[in-house]
Structure 1
Amino acid sequence: MAGEKNKKPVLLSGGNPQIAKGYGDGPIKAYIAAMPGWKSDVGRRLDALVEKTVPDVYKAVKWNSPFYGIEGEGWFLSYHCFDKYIKLTFFRGTSLDPVPPVASKTPETRYFHIHEKDDLDEAQLADWIRQARALPGERL
């Protein structure tokens, strides 16, 4: 059992950490710690930004991705690691102003990609998070 405690999470294709489904801050912190390379620092920044912007945020890891929402109201944001970027998912993204740039197969969902060399516009991200929190959440 002691060996399991020190065992690193498996990285799935694209470098996304395989983290057991769970609710609360613990699974999110485990996911962020397992994010490879530069992505872990961005994960910490994103998590802190969401907490600062939405103090009553509810967190979970589902489908090997962090989810942020309001308990009982659904999810407004998720993210996922890929080889070259982190994909932020705004479930009601078409209702945000400005609309995040990357379209989805799901009509209301929009994505924002963060690459290693990008300057993270935290003011824009906080604005999107604030707007997304105010919309009806996605029930997953």
Structure 2
Amino acid sequence: MSHEPKLLSGGNPQIPKGESDAPVQAYIAAMPDWKSSVGRRIDGLIVEAVPGVRKAVKWNSPFYGVDGDGWFLSLHVYTHYIKVAFFRGRSLEPVPPEPSKSRDTRYLNIRETEPLDEAQFTDWVKQASALPGEHM
């Protein structure tokens, strides 16, 4: 008997932590409404941009990284948008639009009404994956 993952505040899926593609795909499948298809597209763009990308779910968020070099990006679902965290976002050109309390992190908030700029997103992913990652 399968059961749907519980959605936490803002609709963020509660997925058991794990290192691999499987928990990330479970998270994406559980994203509510329009967010699941956008999540699939984001995941696909990251996989295309960074062959062999490392994936995990930690703290109910998918993380993307480079083997041996930490994490460069994570996702989190909120009620009205998907928040993409670039952990070294201040070093990206151009710098992603949303500031963070963390000095280096910058965010991109993806909303249903604003199409994702896939070329810019892919460029940020390639830049971010080449920088030293966060170890957490």
Query: Shared fold by TM > 0.5?
Result: yes
Distance 2:130 2:23 in 1: 25
Displacement over 2 Å in runs of 4+: none
Aligned to 1:73: 69
Aligned to 1:64: 60
1:136 and 2:129 matched = no
1:54 and 2:50 matched = yes
| One-letter identity of the residue aligned with 2:97 | P
Aligned to 2:121: 125
Residues 9-33 of structure 1 show CA distances to partners (whole Å, capped at 9, x for unaligned) of 0000000000000011100110000
1:28 and 2:12 matched = no
1:15 and 2:11 matched = yes
SS in structure 2 of the partner of residue 103 of structure 1: coil
Residues 101-138 of structure 1 show CA distances to partners (whole Å, capped at 9, x for unaligned) of 11100000000000011111100000000000010000
SS in structure 1 of the partner of residue 62 of structure 2: strand
Aligned to 2:101: 105
Larger Rg: 1
Percent of matched pairs sharing the same residue: 62
What's the TM-score, normalizing by structure 1?
0.96
What's the TM-score, normalizing by structure 2?
0.99
Distance 2:92 2:107 in 1: 11
Distance 1:79 1:124 in 2: 17
Distance 2:114 2:36 in 1: 14
What is the total number of aligned residue pairs between the two structures? Answer: 136
Q: Which runs of 5+ in 1 are unaligned?
A: none
